[in-house]
Amino acid sequence: MQVKILDTTLRDGEQTPGVSLTPEEKLRIALRLDDLGVDIIEAGSAITSEGEREALKKIVKEGLNAEICSFARALQVDIDEALKCDVDSIHLVVPTSELHIKDKLQKPPGEVKEKAIDSIEYAKDHGLIVEFSAEDATRSNMQFLKEILEESISAGADRICACDTVGILTPERAYEFYGELSKLKAPLSVHCHNDFGLAVANSLMGLRAGASEVHATINGIGERAGNAALEEIVVALYSLYDVKTNINTKMLYETSKMVARLTGVYIQPNKAIVGENAFAHESGIHVDGILKKAETYEPITPELVGRKRRFVMGKHIGSSALKEKLEEFDFKVDEKQFKQIFERVKNLGDMGKCVTDVDLQAIAEDVLGIVEDKMVNLEEVTVVSGNKLTPTASVKLRINEKEILEAGVGVGPVDAAIVAIKKSLEDFADIKLEEYHVDAITGGTDALIDVIIKLRYKDKIISARSTQPDIIMASVEAFISGVNRLLANEKKKKT
């Protein structure tokens, strides 16, 4: 069995309160979704606005592998606007519950059905693929629901879909509900909302019951509590059900981050698959098990979804994780020294501090008495940035007891600070920034920012990291920490 994925991030997902994407942003996401391996991209609703039509046309012009779809109501004007955008298909949505027909449309059920059939025939006559969806299907009379779906198939609908519009299904009922509809002679799609936190579970049950396609959004964004999360469904199918999709799972994390950045919808740290804590470990017992055999506390490998495992240092850290970190930083310690470092890390954790790599290096250097290897010390950093100001930074460094003051400008405050530091180091070492990565690992305006960088000096590349609430200080601290490690390594070579 192979499941098809209809991604509705650009339509249902964009209906998340506060989200509005430009045509260019929609195109960027569509290109990524196509690379990801999505089968059908519901790229918007052509009737909505001129900007929406511009986005659809831009996406269609790219000639993507994915089928490009526009949402449409059972109205000729909606279908005509979709046709003008040259889309491959329409997602034709018609309410089927008494609540929607009587109170929203205020029309007789027979008229709603007739309008739906006329719309399907009109779309098919004009060369469109039609996926026909029953809105609020899970609160509809089953006899009427099956009648309208059967008639839609007879009218030429290529696929049918039953929507759990307000997320009221349970997994047990989802299996029965979609199992009944899977008996109809057309490919069946599952479309679930997350009002009770069951969208992914219900989607999986619908697929088990006989559906062959699932509607989902990246990060589960969407109206109210959102839609079923694409990344959770795909990985669950792959790992738990041995069911294939066309999705390149290694691209899930980077796609998630891109959508979060462009929509501004924050991903909670403990979110499955793509949350920053999904593959982070602090507990000593867990880390010890992970180091011995990853499967002890990880149901999937982080690499499967484009992630890396991360060990967090705090009061729950165990000796195995700390030893691993010390070895990573090339610190050789005896039992007494290790105990001192271990206790100091625990004490910082008890004070509520997240112990960064830089903190650990400072502690280890202090215990080992090798603080003198720290050639570069930050004395002061000042950054000026604003709406009409070019980001400018000044830094004061002490390098081998010599005080150096430099300034730099950049595209942003972090870039300006790094430029100023690199200028300060020009006479000492030609250090190049190879890679820069930043994540917010907690929520809120005081979120801890995790900065990871890669620096090169001659033929040596090292990684450095810092975690702070201030992104500028975290970036500067990580950079200087990396510089000190590179210079210390060079010094060792010469001795």
Domain boundary among 353, 371, 389: 371
The answer on 490 and 406 residing in a single domain is yes
The answer on 200 and 133 residing in a single domain is yes
Give the pLDDT confidence score for residue 469 in this predicted structure: 79
Query: Would you call 3 exposed, middle or buried from its count of C-beta atoms within 10 A (0-12, 13-18, 19+)?
Result: buried
In a domain, 288, yes or no: yes
Domain boundary among 371, 394, 423: 371
Q: How far apart are CA 191 and CA 199, in angstroms?
A: 8
Residue 82 belongs to domain spanning:
4-263
Which helix (H) or strand (E) element contains residue 456? Answer: strand 449-457
The answer on 297 and 210 residing in a single domain is no
In a domain, 152, yes or no: yes
The answer on 113 and 20 residing in a single domain is yes
Q: How far apart are CA 115 and CA 102, in angstroms?
A: 15
Tally the domains of the chain.
3
In a domain, 269, yes or no: no
In a domain, 272, yes or no: no
The answer on 294 and 231 residing in a single domain is no
Q: How far apart are CA 113 and CA 149, in angstroms?
A: 9
Give the pLDDT confidence score for residue 444 in this predicted structure: 64
Side chain identity, residue 349 = G
Report the CATH number at residue 231. 3.20.20.70
Q: Which residues of 149-167 are buried (b: 16+ CB within 10 A; e: fewer)?
A: bebbbebbbbbbbbbbbbb
Side chain identity, residue 162 = A
Q: How far apart are CA 220 and CA 222, in angstroms?
A: 7
For the chain, 495 residues long, give each residue's pLDDT as a single digit of tens.
799 999 999 999 999 988 999 999 999 999 999 999 999 999 999 999 999 999 999 999 999 999 999 999 999 999 999 999 999 999 999 999 999 999 999 999 999 999 999 999 999 999 999 999 999 999 999 999 999 999 999 999 999 999 999 999 999 999 999 999 999 989 999 999 999 999 999 999 999 999 999 999 999 999 999 999 999 999 999 999 999 999 999 999 999 999 998 998 988 888 999 987 777 655 545 545 655 666 776 788 888 899 877 666 666 777 877 887 788 777 888 888 888 888 888 877 776 666 766 677 767 876 776 545 578 888 999 999 888 889 999 999 988 888 999 999 999 999 999 999 999 998 888 888 888 888 765 566 666 677 888 888 887 887 777 777 789 998 998 899 888 888 877 776 666
Token digits for 360? Answer: 């650990």
Token digits for 174? Answer: 């989802």
The answer on 329 and 228 residing in a single domain is no
- DSSP result, 251-281: GHHHHHHHHHHHH--PPPTT-TTTSTTTTEE
Q: Which residues of 294-309 are buried (b: 16+ CB within 10 A; e: fewer)?
A: eeeebebebebbbbee
Give the pLDDT confidence score for residue 155 in this predicted structure: 97
* Number of residues in the chain: 495
In a domain, 274, yes or no: no
pTM of the model: 0.73
The answer on 403 and 430 residing in a single domain is yes
In a domain, 136, yes or no: yes
Per the CB < 8 A criterion, the answer to whether 362 and 485 are in contact is no
In a domain, 273, yes or no: no
Give the pLDDT confidence score for residue 293 in this predicted structure: 67
The answer on 216 and 302 residing in a single domain is no
Report the CATH number at residue 396. 3.30.160.270
The answer on 43 and 17 residing in a single domain is yes
Q: How far apart are CA 387 and CA 493, in angstroms?
A: 47
In a domain, 378, yes or no: yes
Nearest CA among 50, 55, 42, 148 for reference residue 98:
148
The answer on 124 and 33 residing in a single domain is yes
The answer on 420 and 345 residing in a single domain is no
Domain boundary among 337, 371, 405: 371
The answer on 56 and 67 residing in a single domain is yes
